């Protein structure tokens, strides 16, 4: 409702200004006509001066319009810059979240693989049970299996403290620095083809680099090494 009233008031003002302009033009026309009838030379001089004055006024108006337009463009550029900065912050947060999520998924994947191996071994053990087996023997086999699993985890810890593990991390960092990498699968596939017998070593090395954020996702979406 207020917008309609404002529009109507502006329309009335515009009509009044239009009437003023028409009246002014009529007065100028009458003045020029009177001068032409009174003295042709004076009329020509008056028209020349009026043309010069009109040109100056139009030039000033054009300059003012240009300045106003440039000011509006600057405001638009400033608004766009603010929106781009907001978008950049959102992208940075999304990249950080994706990196943390991928690291967590990598760790979960490793834990799931270990659990699946343990469950498969237990399943095989259950299938091998005979009716005449004693419970004590079954428990001994389960205990031995669990010890083997713990031994496997201990081997992983020893592997993480080895020189080979440090070398694998350095190779992954060198690969990231010399290539445009966007996904962890690109790193895994490369070292799986290069060292098919040591894929676990490089998988664990990559997981540690991501977990400790030594390798992060940069602004351009590529993996970067944080010195």
Q: What pLDDT digit, counting tens, does each position of 36-81 carry? A: 555 666 656 666 766 777 677 777 777 777 777 666 666 677 777 7
Say how many C-beta atoms besides its own lie within 10 A of residue 141's C-beta.
17
What pLDDT, on the 0 to 100 scale, is given for residue 149? Answer: 57
What pLDDT, on the 0 to 100 scale, is given for residue 179? Answer: 79
Say how many C-beta atoms besides its own lie within 10 A of residue 114's C-beta.
14
- In this structure, what DSSP letter does residue 225 have? E
Share of the chain above pLDDT 90, in %: 0
In the predicted model, is pLDDT for residue 146 greater than 60?
no
Output phi, psi for 26, to 5 deg: -65, -40
pLDDT band at 200 (very low <50, low <70, confident <90, very high): confident
What value does the mean pLDDT take over residues 21-30?
69
What pLDDT, on the 0 to 100 scale, is given for residue 50? Answer: 66
Contact 159, 198 (CB under 8 A): no
Alpha-carbon distance of 149 to 132, in angstroms, equals 27
- In this structure, what DSSP letter does residue 216 have? E
- In this structure, what DSSP letter does residue 179 have? S
Share of the chain above pLDDT 70, in %: 43
In the predicted model, is pLDDT for residue 98 greater than 70?
no
Of 207, 160, 156, which Cα lies nearest the Cα of 184? 207
In the predicted model, is pLDDT for residue 138 greater than 60?
no
């Amino acid at each position: 409702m207020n917008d309609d009233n404002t529009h109507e008031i502006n329309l009335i003002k515009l009509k009044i200004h239009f009437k003023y302009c028409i009246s002014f033009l009529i007065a100028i026309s009458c003045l020029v006509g009177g001068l032409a009838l009174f003295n042709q030379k004076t009329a020509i001089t008056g028209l020349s001066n009026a043309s010069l004055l009109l040109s100056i006024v139009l030039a000033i108006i054009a300059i003012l319009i240009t300045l106003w337009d440039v000011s509006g463009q600057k405001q638009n550029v400033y608004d766009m810059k603010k929106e781009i900065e907001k978008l950049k912050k959102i992208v940075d947060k999304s990249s950080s979240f994706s990196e943390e999520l991928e690291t967590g998924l990598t760790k979960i994947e490793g834990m799931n693989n270990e659990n699946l191996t343990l469950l498969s071994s237990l399943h095989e053990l259950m299938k091998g049970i005979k009716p005449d087996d004693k419970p004590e023997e079954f428990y001994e086999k389960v205990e031995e299996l669990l010890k083997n699993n713990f031994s496997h985890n201990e081997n992983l810890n020893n592997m993480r403290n080895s020189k080979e593990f440090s070398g694998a991390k350095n190779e992954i960092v060198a690969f990231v620095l010399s290539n445009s990498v966007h996904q962890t699968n690109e790193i895994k596939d490369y070292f799986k083809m290069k060292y098919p017998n040591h894929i676990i070593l490089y998988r664990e090395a990559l997981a540690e680099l991501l977990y400790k954020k030594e390798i992060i996702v940069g602004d351009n979406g590529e993996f970067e090494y944080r010195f």
